[in-house]
Amino acid sequence: MSLVEVTGLRKSYGPKEVLSGIDLRVEAGEIVGILGPNGSGKTTTVECIGGLRAPDGGTISVDGIDPQANERALRKILGMQLQEARLPAKITAAEAIDLFASFYPDPEPTAVLLERLGVVTQRNERFENLSGGQQQRLSVALALVGRPRVAILDELTTGLDPAARREIWTYLGQLRDAGTTFLLVTHSMEEAQHLCDRVYILAGGRFVRSGSPQELSSAMGTQVMSFLPSSSVDLDLLRSVAGVHAAHADESRIVIDGDDTALQSVLSLLSARGVTISGLSITTPTLEDAYLAATRRVG
């Protein structure tokens, strides 16, 4: 059985159905991301899993716990970072972590979290005086202070500078290696690509794609290569090469769509004909391409 298992989850707000029966699995020690357009139900999904919203239908199990039936047990193993949850204005960063630490039997030391999340110099700053990024880092610290078995992080690096994002990703990677399981909501393709073992793409109330970031981007198929040949090249000849899907001339450049075997074949053919190339450019499909293709189809 997976550590987090969701089957047929449905949720509506009034007449609007946000989730139309989604299935999701997270194995122990995985980092799984949920991607999707604004309003697609990502936060609703994780809040149902985290027991903060009651689903209209379907089943949810977190380490064998039904969040609606046994919230007390769930809170002991689950850490959550919520969007738009602010702390009291006059509490300091260290006091906030100490306070949340007091809710758990074996918390992570406050000094470790301040250090790892890069707020050690703001430890005595009041929440109201922290920058948006510092508040965000503190919010992640509060989700992790109880050494949760599963952590749900909703837009964990929104508003952070690139260096801070990398530091948090490194820390989460280390926690994952130590056994923590993560479910992330993110808008950042870079974050999903860098951090997630698997991602689910949510659109129109359903998961329209799932898999590792590599699988999803590879499934887009073609990579695009373009180059300047030293002499004219027969496009039909190029189109006949194995792995090439299309070829055309763009002014003096040749542009070829093909799979990842096409590049070697084309280069071999040109070399055999004494044609050299310059200005080679190769564009491979990204997770963002896969995401846009999947969500465009639905939206």
Partner 1 sequence: MGATTALLENEVRLLRRSPAVVIWSVVLPLAALLVMMAIPGARMSLPMLGGLSVLEAYQPTLVVFVATLLALQMMPMFLGSYRESGFLRRLRATPAHPANLLTAIVLMVLAVILAVGLLILFLPLVVGVGDPRPLALAALVLIACAITFLALGTFLASILPNPRVASGVGAAIAAVMWFFAGMWYPRAQFPDWLSNVADWTPGGAAATLLTNAAHGAELGWQPFVCLTAWTVVGLLVSVRTFRWE
Count CB-CB contacts under 10 A for residue 142: 23
72 binds partner 1 (CB under 8 A): yes
Binding to partner 1 (CB under 8 A) within 132-161 occurs at: 142, 146
95 binds partner 1 (CB under 8 A): yes
Binding test (CB under 8 A) with partner 1, winner from 100, 171, 182, 291 = 100
Binding to partner 1 (CB under 8 A) within 212-251 occurs at: none
Closest CA to 80 of 172, 10, 11, 182: 182
Residues 11-50: x where in contact with partner 1 by CB under 8 A, - otherwise, as a string: ---------------------------------------x
123 binds partner 1 (CB under 8 A): no
CB 247 within 8 A of CB 256: yes
DSSP 168-225: HHHHHHHHHHTT-EEEEE-S-HHHHHHH-SEEEEEETTEEEEEE-HHHHHHTT--EEE
Binding test (CB under 8 A) with partner 1, winner from 1, 70, 103, 280 = 103
102 binds partner 1 (CB under 8 A): yes
Tokens representing 255 are: 């542009």
d(CA 119, CA 138) in angstroms, rounded, equals 7
99 binds partner 1 (CB under 8 A): yes
The angle, 0 to 180 degrees and rounded to 10, between the axes of the packed helices 132-144 and 162-177 is: 0
Tokens representing 206 are: 């359903």
90 binds partner 1 (CB under 8 A): yes
292 binds partner 1 (CB under 8 A): no
Nearer to partner 1, 85 or 111 (CB): 85
Residue 227 CB, nearest distance to partner 1 (Å)?
54
Return phi, psi of residue 159, to 5°. 85, 5
Q: Tell me which residues touch partner 1 (CB under 8 A).
A: 50, 52, 72, 75-76, 78, 80, 82, 84-88, 90-91, 95, 99-100, 102-104, 142, 146
